[in-house]
Amino acid sequence: MQKLSEQPFQRFQDFYPFYLREHANPICRALHYIGSSLVLLVLAWVILSQQWLWLWSLPLIGYGFAWLGHFGFEHNRPATFKYPFYSLAADWVMYKDFLTGQLERKLKAALAQA
């Protein structure tokens, strides 16, 4: 029998609790938030300055901080490798949940499902 994390996810709402469990370490999550915040700041700068060549830096910034969190603190393989689109969406949902104060409740629920 396959573990839940090895089964393909058909719906985002099934994937998101798995994604949160993969981000249980607060330092890993903090690095995600730093990367996401920098992506937004650099994107705003690129648009305002019209320095379009710098768009290439956005994935490096976002994924660089996230992967540092996974390999350095969470000690797991980023979900991006297996679920690239769901993972990208989940990162922004997690960022929104953090900013709106909903993350702790959702993280506790996700960890209880494990």
pLDDT band at residue 114 under the 50/70/90 scheme: confident
Give the pLDDT mean for 19-33: 97
Tens digits of residue pLDDT in 91-107? 999 999 999 999 999 99
At position 97, the amino acid (one-letter code) is D
Looking at the predicted structure, is the pLDDT value of residue 111 above 80? yes
Give the pLDDT mean for 45-63: 97
pLDDT band at residue 1 under the 50/70/90 scheme: very low
Domain boundaries, the chain: 15-113
- Tell me the C-alpha distance between 23 and 25, whole Å: 6
